[in-house]
Amino acid sequence: MSSDSSKPRARSHPGQPKVLLELIGRLRPHWRADSALPARIERVLRSDRRRGASDRRLYRELIYTALRHLPWVEPLIDGDPGRAAKAIAWLAAETPSTAAFRAAVAGDWPEVPADLAGRAAFLGTVPAEILPAWFREHCPGVFAPAELDAQARRAPLWLRLQADRPGPVIDELLGKGWAIRRPEVLDTAVQVLGEADITATEAFRSGRLEVQDIGSQLVLEAADPAPGGRWLDACAGAGGKALQLARMLGPEGTVDAYDIRPAALEELRHRSARAGARTIRVLEAPPSGRYDGVLVDAPCSGSGTWRRSPHLKWCTGPADIGRWATRQTGLLGRFAGLVAPGGTLVYATCSLSRLENEAVVSDFLESHPGFAPRMIRSGLGFAERGGGHLLLPSVHDSDGFFVAVLGMD
C-alpha cells in the first residue's frame, strides 16, 4: 500500500474492538511460547474469509502494537478489556489502516506523546516494562530512554540500492507517491516513510532494489572488504548479505554461499538470478579450502529485531541466550579454519546480548591465538564492545547488530 494520504482510508465499524479482543484471546495462549507466532497470527487472520486484506492489515498492526507493549496491555485484558482495546488503539502507529479505528476508539484521549515516558505516564505504567527485565544484564544500553523510544516504534522499511544508476530507481519510488529518506551514512540505503509494496516496482522485479535493513547493510560496510577477493558467506540464509558482498567485491571477486537450510538457498538462487549476480556460487556441500574472507552471520536470539518481531521478547529467556551462544561459538570455530593466512573473519549477529556477542568473540580469541580484532570503518554509528562493535536501533532507526572483524596472522 502506498503512504499517499489522498487515498481513501478504511472505515471503522463498532464491532472492531470486539473482534480485536477475540483475536487476542486466540493468540494469548501462545504469545509467550511460540517463536513462530507471526505465522500463527497470519493463520488466525485468514481463518475468517469475511476478513479482507484491509481488515487483516488493521488487526495485524493492532496485534503487533499489543505485543510491543505486552506488560502494559495484558493486565487490562483481564481487568478491563474495553480499556485494553482503547489503549492498543491509542498506542498504534497512525497508518491508512489504523487511522479510522484509532479515531473511533481512542479519539477522546489526548494526543499520543512523542516519547515512551509520556505514554507510560498517561497509562500509569513504566517505560522499561516493554523489555524483559532479565535483559538489562545482557544490554544495559537498550534501556536508555532513546532506545526504549525506538523499541516502541514499528520497524521501518529499509531498502538497498544495487543499481549502477540509482536515479531511475529513486524516481520510480517518488513517482508512486512514497516519501523516502536517504541517510548520509550510506548512499545505498533508502528508507520508505510509510507503507509501500516494494515488490510491485520495476526496480525490485529487475533486481535493482532489495529489502534490507540499514543495520544489516552497515555490518559489511564496517568490515569494508577489499574488491576482488574470494569470500564465503557461511550462514547465508536467503542471501541479503551475499548479494551486498558480491557488489562490494566487484566483478573480479567471488562469493561462495552456504547454509544448512535448502529452502533459504533456493530463495538465494532466485534473488541472485533476479539481480544478475553472476559471481555468487551457491554451495550444495559444506565449504572447503581457504578464503580471503569468511562471513559468519550467525543464527541468534534476534534481540536486535525485537521491535520488528516483538513476540520474541516474551518467548525468549536467559537459557535460550545460553544455547544460542554455545551454537555461535561452535560455528565461529568451525569456519575460522577456512580463513587464509592474512585473511578476515567477520562475526555478526542481530543480537544485543553481550553473551552472544563480545563473550563469544572473547572465548574464540582465547582459543584461537592466530586471530586478533581489526579496526572497522569509522563513522558508521557502531560503539565498541570488547572485541567487536554494537549498533543500537536508535542510531539509524534500524535493527540492532553486532559485528567483530578478526584478522588472521
Q: Is 391 exposed, middle or buried (0-12, 13-18, 19+ CB in 10 A)?
A: buried
Average pLDDT over residues 4-23: 71
The 10s digit of each residue's pLDDT in 162-180 is 999 999 999 999 999 999 9
Which CATH fold topology does 214-408 show? Answer: Rossmann fold (3.40.50)
pLDDT bracket for residue 8 (50, 70, 90):
very low
Q: Give the pLDDT confidence score for residue 194 in this predicted structure.
A: 86
Q: Provide the pLDDT for residue 89.
A: 97
Q: What distance in Å separates the CA atoms of residue 141 and residue 149, rounded to the nearest whole number?
A: 12
E-state strands within 92-205 = 157-161, 179-181, 189-193
> pTM score, two decimals?
0.93
Q: pLDDT tens digits for 224-270?
A: 999 999 999 999 999 899 999 999 999 999 999 999 999 999 999 99
Beta bridge partners of 209: 161
List pLDDT tens digits, range 279-305. Answer: 999 999 999 999 999 999 999 999 999
Q: Where in the chain is the domain with CATH 3.30.70.1170?
A: 157-211
% of the chain surpassing 70 pLDDT: 97
Which pLDDT value is given to residue 10?
53
- Average pLDDT score over residue span 47-65: 93
Q: Which CATH class is domain 157-211?
A: alpha beta
* Closest alpha carbon to 156 in 3, 301, 367, 318: 3
Torsion angles phi and psi, residue 167, rounded to 5: -50, -50
Q: DSSP secondary-structure letter at 231?
A: E
The residues of the chain that CATH labels 3.40.50.150 are 214-408
How much is the pLDDT for 11? 60
Give the pLDDT confidence of 299-353 residue by residue, as tens digits. 999 999 999 999 999 999 999 999 999 999 999 999 999 999 999 999 999 999 9
Instruction: Dump pLDDT digits (tens) for 58-83.
Output: 999 999 999 999 999 999 999 999 99
Cell of residue 286, nine digits? 559444506
